[in-house]
Amino acid sequence: MTGRLGTQMTIIIPLLGCSRKRRVLYEKAIRLLEQRGIQLTRGLNQAELDRIREVYGIEFPEPLKVFFQSVLPMSDAFYDWRDFSESNISFLKELMESPLKKIYDWRVRSTGVTTGEMNRKMRRNVLHLFGEKYQMLQD
């Protein structure tokens, strides 16, 4: 999607229920992405969010969900949540596991305790966004 007008039209519906402060933050984030040449595609619909929850076992926190319903950034720096190919699913799941594996390995080294349930709970609650940025998910 190109141009400010196209973006404005796309974000109106999902952002209507947001507070003015949050709406301003979303619009600022969208402008920054546009200024950096990030392609913005239409936001995720409910069926796509449901599929993401089913495939990855995650639910985006409300602010991130609203943002992704407004626009979905597309570039090498952002993940393609619409790509449900086997290779992309494996790639994203591996990224989600990476910080958990580091935490789990540290926990085992420091305490000697290994708990499968703790590992599963951590996997459900941490989402790798990009680089060293992570988001805690709703339980």
Q: How many CA atoms lie less than 13 Å away from 114 in the CB half-sphere?
A: 4
Q: Share the mean pLDDT of the chain.
A: 75
| pLDDT value of residue 6 | 41
How far from chain centre, in Å, is Cα 101?
A: 19
| pLDDT value of residue 13 | 45
**Strand 71-74 relative to strand 126-130, pairing:** unpaired
| pLDDT value of residue 25 | 85
Question: Tokens for 17?
Answer: 């229920």
**Strand 39-42 relative to strand 71-74, pairing:** antiparallel
Q: How far is Cα 50 from Cα 61, in angstroms, rounded to an integer? A: 14
Q: How far is Cα 29 from Cα 96, in angstroms, rounded to an integer? A: 24
pLDDT digits (tens, 9 = 90+) for 25-51: 888 888 899 999 999 999 999 999 999
